[in-house]
């Protein structure tokens, strides 16, 4: 059932987020544009909005509030945490299926890989235990957490204490990790995820009853600008879409809480 919900959710997201939403609006504008002036304006505005979101300079402006609100982790805080009461939790950010170069034909996506590398470095600097969280909503043999564990232990020599490989989304990440830690001494998590994802992730883990020490990463908005940041690029659209996805995700979480409460 969770996999069906995940598939439907992602299908809806693909239609209300770029580039899907602009394709739909542009098609509607072209279809009715022959007889309705508003439709021609709709097509023009959709095309302009799409073009703007492909610019890195625009994407950086969208990401900047997230980065201002969630600064990098102060290592002095992390080093002051007790290893028997605190744990680094790294959240998966996707997998690639069909990776033929690996025995299981699965590999971590770029986001998952960056988070895992950062978590390994953080564990080395603080001595805190490690946990990975992320399942396999799109099928396959291994969950995100399993792949992260393989890299952390075989690539970085860092032991992984907890593997949570059942979750399909951020809310389940928090619930299943909290359940696995229930009854133990560990109630503080140093949460590793992208800075843009951090607001929603931190709220989910706090709602699950855990104390969160944010360890955001993948900061980009402060990068020095160059000429390519003012021309359309796939990377610009990818970052803009990521920010819009988190806006929609945060609104959805608030709606769920309001309905439940």
Query: pLDDT tens digits for 31-76?
Result: 898 889 999 999 999 999 999 999 999 999 999 999 999 999 999 9
The pTM of this model reads 0.94
Q: Where are the domains of the chain?
A: 2-67+228-260, 72-217
Which H or E run contains 213?
strand 211-217
Asked if the model's pLDDT at residue 1 lies above 80, the reply is no
What is the C-alpha separation between 9 and 169, in angstroms, rounded? 10
Please state which CATH number belongs to domain 72-217.
3.40.50.620
Q: Other CB atoms closer than 10 Å to residue 109's CB: what's the count?
A: 15
- Beta strands 95-97 and 106-108 are antiparallel
Asked if the model's pLDDT at residue 2 lies above 80, the reply is no
CA-based nearest residue to 181, from 149, 214, 216, 205: 205
What is the C-alpha separation between 87 and 215, in angstroms, rounded? 12
Which pLDDT does position 187 carry in this prediction?
Answer: 97
| R_g (Cα) of the chain, nearest Å | 20
Q: Assign 30 a pLDDT band (cuts: 50, 70, 90).
A: confident
144 neighbors 95 (Cβ within 8 angstroms):
yes
Query: pLDDT tens digits for 140-199?
Result: 889 999 999 999 999 999 999 999 999 999 999 999 999 999 989 999 999 999 999 999
Query: pLDDT tens digits for 149-165?
Result: 999 999 999 999 999 99
Which H or E run contains 237?
helix 234-260
136 neighbors 84 (Cβ within 8 angstroms):
no
């Amino acid at each position: 059932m969770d996999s069906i919900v995940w598939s439907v959710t992602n299908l809806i997201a693909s239609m209300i987020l770029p580039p899907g939403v602009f394709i739909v609006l542009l098609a509607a504008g072209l279809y009715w544009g022959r007889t309705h002036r508003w439709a021609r304006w709709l097509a023009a505005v959709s095309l302009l909005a799409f073009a703007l979101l492909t610019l890195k300079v625009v994407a950086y402006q969208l990401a900047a509030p997230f980065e201002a609100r969630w600064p990098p982790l102060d290592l002095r805080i992390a080093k002051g945490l007790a290893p028997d009461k605190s744990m680094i939790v790294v959240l998966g950010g996707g997998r690639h299926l069909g990776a033929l170069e690996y025995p299981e034909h699965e590999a971590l996506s770029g986001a998952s890989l960056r988070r895992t590398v950062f978590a390994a470095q953080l564990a080395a600097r603080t001595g805190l235990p490690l946990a990975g969280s992320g399942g396999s909503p799109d099928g396959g043999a291994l969950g995100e957490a399993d792949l992260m564990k393989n890299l952390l232990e075989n690539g970085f020599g860092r032991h992984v204490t907890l593997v949570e490989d059942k979750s399909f989304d951020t809310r389940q990440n928090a619930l299943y990790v909290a359940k696995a830690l229930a009854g133990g001494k560990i109630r503080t998590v140093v949460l590793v995820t992208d800075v843009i994802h951090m607001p929603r992730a931190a709220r989910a883990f706090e709602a699950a009853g855990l104390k969160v020490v944010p360890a955001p990463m993948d900061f980009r908005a402060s990068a020095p600008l160059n000429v390519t940041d003012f021309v359309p690029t796939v990377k610009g659209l990818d970052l803009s879409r990521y920010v819009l996805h988190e806006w929609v995700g945060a609104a959805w979480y608030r709606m769920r809480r309001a309905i439940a409460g």
